[in-house]
Structure 1
Amino acid sequence: MRPLLVLCLGNPDRGDDGFGPAVAEVLDGTLPPDVTLMARSGDMLTMLEDWAGFDALICVDAAGGGDRPGRIHRIDLAEEDLPRDMAFLSSHAFGLGEAIALARTLDLAPADIVVYAVEGQRFDGGSEMTPPVAAAIGPVAERITAEVARLQEAANHA
């Protein structure tokens, strides 16, 4: 089996930014034992260390800049870039897009990276997650489970 990481990003104390950690809670204990599940809310640069040794990465994050809170996006970075009109917000100046670009430049990025992003609306400190974003938690968790199976199956046939 190839090493696979599911990395859920966000800060549960910042409204819709808590989406990633909420998905991690749903996935905890449900993924195959050889899949690593992590939730991160801090510095995006630590992601580069998290990725070390993994061949495939699934990132889960909330994004601003969309016009439909709760809308789910699947972005396979082997086929397309992260949309420029989507802001992957971080409490630091360095976000998901920058972390991926740096990892690729340094040849530290996993071979396969798939991003699941949900459009968020409210990212203020102390705010609650909006209902449309909360409603996307279960469906994204289901998609992640299917994505893990797809990536493992592809590795078995490689």
Structure 2
Amino acid sequence: MSARVVVIGVGNPLRGDDGVGPAAVEALRGRVPDGTVLTVSDGEPARMLDVWRGADTVVVVEALRAQSARPGELHTLTAADAASRTAATASTHALGLAECLALAEVLGQLPQRLVVHAVEVADVELGAPLSEAVRSALPDLVDRVAASVRRAHGPNHEE
């Protein structure tokens, strides 16, 4: 039996670098094993929990606004790291990933494995395109996500 793997690109493509999650999901099409669920979300916790219900592994791709920003810098976080780190940073969404993870834990809906691939953003203004820093980081981000998905599907899908 194959693991159920869900990739969620969180963000809004109409808000500059906040669109990196959806852009990564689009770039993953055809690069991950069949059966991988690729979806986008605005980050609203109830919708996120609904999307990952029953998943063995969830991979979240997210924009991150750090206090000492280094636009384009990539981060790979566990669920615990993401909960503590994103709570101390500014999400580009009304409720951040930390709140979503806290809700999932309270409801007993955390997946067996959750990994977050995040990129630090430069510009999230309405109507802005991806910044040069984030656009340049996108190929490496997609490679990291694809590798996480292959690992989640098992040894037959490793590089």
Task: State the alpha-carbon separation in 2 of the partners of residues 16 and 96 from structure 1.
Answer: 17
CA contact (8 A) 1:6 1:58 kept: yes
Shift of 1:53: 1.0
Shift of 1:70: 0.2
The alignment's TM-score, normalised by the length of structure 1, stands at 0.88
Alignment: residue pair count = 153
Structure 2: any 5+ residue segments left out of the alignment? none
- Using a 3 Å threshold, how does the CA distance of structure 1 residues 120 and 80 change in structure 2: closer, same or farther? closer
Shift of 1:78: 5.8
Task: State the alpha-carbon separation in 1 of the partners of residues 102 and 136 from structure 2.
Answer: 30
Structure 2 partner of 1:73: 75
- Using a 3 Å threshold, how does the CA distance of structure 1 residues 23 and 82 change in structure 2: closer, same or farther? farther
Structure 1: any 5+ residue segments left out of the alignment? none
**1:64-110 CA-partner distances (Å, limit 9, x unpaired):** 124200000000226774414332221x3x22111111001100111
Structure 2 SS opposite 1:30:
coil
Task: State the alpha-carbon separation in 2 of the partners of residues 115 and 80 from structure 1.
Answer: 7
**1:36-81 CA-partner distances (Å, limit 9, x unpaired):** 1111236342111111111110000101124200000000226774
Structure 1 SS opposite 2:21:
helix
Higher helix share: 2
Shift of 1:153: 2.2
Q: Which runs of 4+ in 1 moved over 3 A?
A: 78-82
What is the root-mean-square deviation of aligned Cα atoms in Å?
A: 1.9
Task: State the alpha-carbon separation in 2 of the partners of residues 80 and 97 from structure 1.
Answer: 7
- Using a 3 Å threshold, how does the CA distance of structure 1 residues 67 and 61 change in structure 2: closer, same or farther? same
Task: State the alpha-carbon separation in 2 of the partners of residues 127 and 79 from structure 1.
Answer: 29
- Using a 3 Å threshold, how does the CA distance of structure 1 residues 135 and 57 change in structure 2: closer, same or farther? same
CA contact (8 A) 1:75 1:81 kept: no
**1:106-139 CA-partner distances (Å, limit 9, x unpaired):** 0011110000000002111112221001111111
Percent of residue pairs bearing the same amino acid type: 33
